[in-house]
Chains A and B, each alone.
Chain A
């Protein structure tokens, strides 16, 4: 991933900034520039999420691609934020601890790095609340 490609989404990833449709009230993280319910009638504004939520489903990744190999085995989950939107994230906890319904809160962590001389990408991950 180029530096610009990551930098573009830096505010979103660092501070959990997504979007909100003022017409229907739906929240989006990852951010969406266009509301799928209201379409052209939607009014999209930025929204900073609290970051608390719960685990909807999970897996323990034991075999990963190059960038994430060093983390294995790691818990990966779909998390529903309290505002109602869902995202995918690494949950930093013991692999035996994660379960459906577990409450989580956000933390600032390294997401990935590109080799020993490439960029290091930071962003939001989750830990048990």
Chain B
């Protein structure tokens, strides 16, 4: 296998972008990534795009070709493939791009992610997202995604004594980071009281425990490490890559509070990268709900089960803490355009490692991403370092 580097990154601002269409979003992100890599579109060998549900959000399938076409590349006949794994679609698109370059099949490969979620009513969005769970046996019971993660939270609080305040602190911390991120949907700090007094969505989760509905796109460009310096002075190397699956339904997990696919994908990524937990400078984790960040910190092996709430409360995961989690603001503050999130995590990690992260800049050599589909039926992790 060849070593692989990220040579260019681009991301739209995330938010309720009523003025932007599905295709405008990915064209904007793609153009930014190409500009960043100082690359012309004709040099692209292959495109992978993560997208969960354009079919239901904007009634458009056949996304791979559409992207290549509207990127102005129809006459180049570039292979373009859509990748779908619910909210992990973006992370999986990146993994496909990585394996395409590592295998020697393609040289210059784009990994993109896009979701346009605000062209339908909120109730439709809720239903579309519910399709990431088991439609036949969870969907028919009246589940919602906040509801499923709320059931993890109920069990977790019962088992480990996690407090409501500790859970709220995850949102407070991520909004604090998001306030420093010009691409974030929410750029305002919030107080513990804001979270605790927000409306109940699915007990014990409140509105401010949940990531919002968001439009956005992100794109990154990969190349063989040996060619990376043709395009950039600051290539960021992919050190490790791990993907895992688990049961589609939450009720089939051995332990409701453990995302076993996170454990497996994390371990694979660490083994491949040959780095230890203590070497990781920061992690972009999949905090679709506050409880998801608590579980992620533990399931990735950064502390024992039951300890992440206390660590969060003590500031261990804050920007100035020992292990900053979600310096971008995470899904909570940046927003969560489901197909784009996994690629945005890579965007943020590359920005941090290049020293390009502005006011939220950390002093770190190695960063990690963690992208989850559904309640943990798909998880993909990547570890990055400077080349």
The residues of A with any CB-CB pair to B shorter than 8 Å are 1, 9, 13, 30, 56-69, 71, 74, 76-78, 86-90, 100, 111-112, 121, 123
Write the nearest CB–CB distance from A118 to chain B, whole angstroms. Answer: 14
- 18 of the cross-chain contacts (CB-CB < 8 Å) are A56-B251, A57-B154, A57-B155, A57-B256, A59-B202, A63-B126, A64-B123, A65-B130, A65-B144, A67-B142, A74-B142, A76-B147, A86-B251, A87-B141, A88-B141, A88-B250, A89-B141, A111-B140
Write the nearest CB–CB distance from B92 to chain A, whole angstroms. Answer: 23
With an 8 Å Cβ cutoff, the count of chain B residues facing the other chain is 35
Cα distance A59–B146 when bound, in Å? Answer: 9
Residues of chain B contacted by A71 (CB below 8 angstroms): 142
B152 on the A face (CB < 8 A):
yes
Give the residue name and chain of the A residue nearest to B249 (CB). Answer: A88
Cα distance A66–B121 when bound, in Å? Answer: 10
Q: State which of B124, B136, B153, B250 has its C-beta within 8 Å of the C-beta of A78.
A: B250
Q: State which of B199, B203, B252 has its C-beta within 8 Å of the C-beta of A59.
A: B203
Give the dominant DSSP class at A's interface: strand
Residues of chain A contacted by B147 (CB below 8 angstroms): 59, 61, 76
Contact (Cβ within 8 A) B154 A58: yes
Contact (Cβ within 8 A) A90 B252: no
Contact (Cβ within 8 A) A65 B256: no
Name, among A30, A58, A64, A86, the residue most crowded by chain B CB atoms within 10 Å (CB to CB): A64
Cα distance A69–B123 when bound, in Å? Answer: 9
Write the nearest CB–CB distance from A88 to chain B, whole angstroms. Answer: 5
C-beta contact mask, B146-173 vs A, less than 8 Å → 1, else 0? Answer: 1100111111001000000000000000
* Known A-B contacts A30-B137, A59-B147, A76-B147; A64 and B251 likewise in contact (beta carbons under 8 Å): no
Residues of chain A contacted by B203 (CB below 8 angstroms): 59-60, 62
Give the residue name and chain of the B residue nearest to A9 (CB). Answer: B136
Give the residue name and chain of the A residue nearest to B205 (CB). Answer: A59
Cα distance A73–B256 when bound, in Å? Answer: 23
State which residues 104-151 of B face A: CB under 8 Å. Answer: 123-124, 126-127, 130, 134, 136-138, 140-144, 146-147, 150-151
Q: State which of B124, B126, B142, B204 has its C-beta within 8 Å of the C-beta of A76.
A: B142
Name, among A13, A74, A88, the residue most crowded by chain B CB atoms within 10 Å (CB to CB): A88
C-beta contact mask, B239-257 vs A, less than 8 Å → 1, else 0? Answer: 0000000000111100010
Contact (Cβ within 8 A) B144 A64: yes
B200 on the A face (CB < 8 A):
yes
B66 on the A face (CB < 8 A):
no
Write the nearest CB–CB distance from B147 to chain A, whole angstroms. Answer: 5
B311 on the A face (CB < 8 A):
no
Give the dominant DSSP class at B's interface: helix
Write the nearest CB–CB distance from B241 to chain A, whole angstroms. Answer: 26
Give the top 3 A-B pairs by smallest Cβ distance, nearest first.
A59-B150, A65-B127, A57-B155
User: Given known contacts A61-B202, A89-B141, what 16 new A-B pairs fall within 8 Å (CB)?
Assistant: A57-B155, A58-B154, A60-B200, A61-B143, A62-B203, A63-B126, A65-B130, A68-B144, A76-B141, A76-B202, A78-B250, A86-B251, A87-B251, A88-B251, A112-B140, A112-B142
B273 on the A face (CB < 8 A):
no
State which residues 200-232 of B face A: CB under 8 Å. Answer: 200-205
Contact (Cβ within 8 A) A62 B201: yes
Q: State which of A63, A74, A77, A123 has its C-beta within 8 Å of the C-beta of B140.
A: A123
Contact (Cβ within 8 A) B141 A90: yes
C-beta contact mask, B43-67 vs A, less than 8 Å → 1, else 0? Answer: 0000000000000000000000000
* Known A-B contacts A62-B201, A63-B144; A88 and B155 likewise in contact (beta carbons under 8 Å): no
Cα distance A123–B134 when bound, in Å? Answer: 17
Give the residue name and chain of the B residue nearest to A64 (CB). Answer: B144
Cα distance A116–B142 when bound, in Å? Answer: 18
Contact (Cβ within 8 A) A59 B142: no
Give the residue name and chain of the B residue nearest to A90 (CB). Answer: B142
Cα distance A69–B138 when bound, in Å? Answer: 16
Give the residue name and chain of the B residue nearest to A86 (CB). Answer: B251
Give the residue name and chain of the A residue nearest to B126 (CB). Answer: A65
Cα distance A123–B138 when bound, in Å? Answer: 13
Give the residue name and chain of the A residue nearest to B146 (CB). Answer: A63
* Known A-B contacts A78-B250, A87-B251, A100-B158; A58 and B151 likewise in contact (beta carbons under 8 Å): yes
Cα distance A1–B137 when bound, in Å? Answer: 13
Write the nearest CB–CB distance from A11 to chain B, whole angstroms. Answer: 14
Residues of chain A contacted by B136 (CB below 8 angstroms): 9, 30
Cα distance A95–B141 when bound, in Å? Answer: 16
Write the nearest CB–CB distance from A65 to chain B, whole angstroms. Answer: 4
Give the residue name and chain of the A residue nearest to B128 (CB). Answer: A65
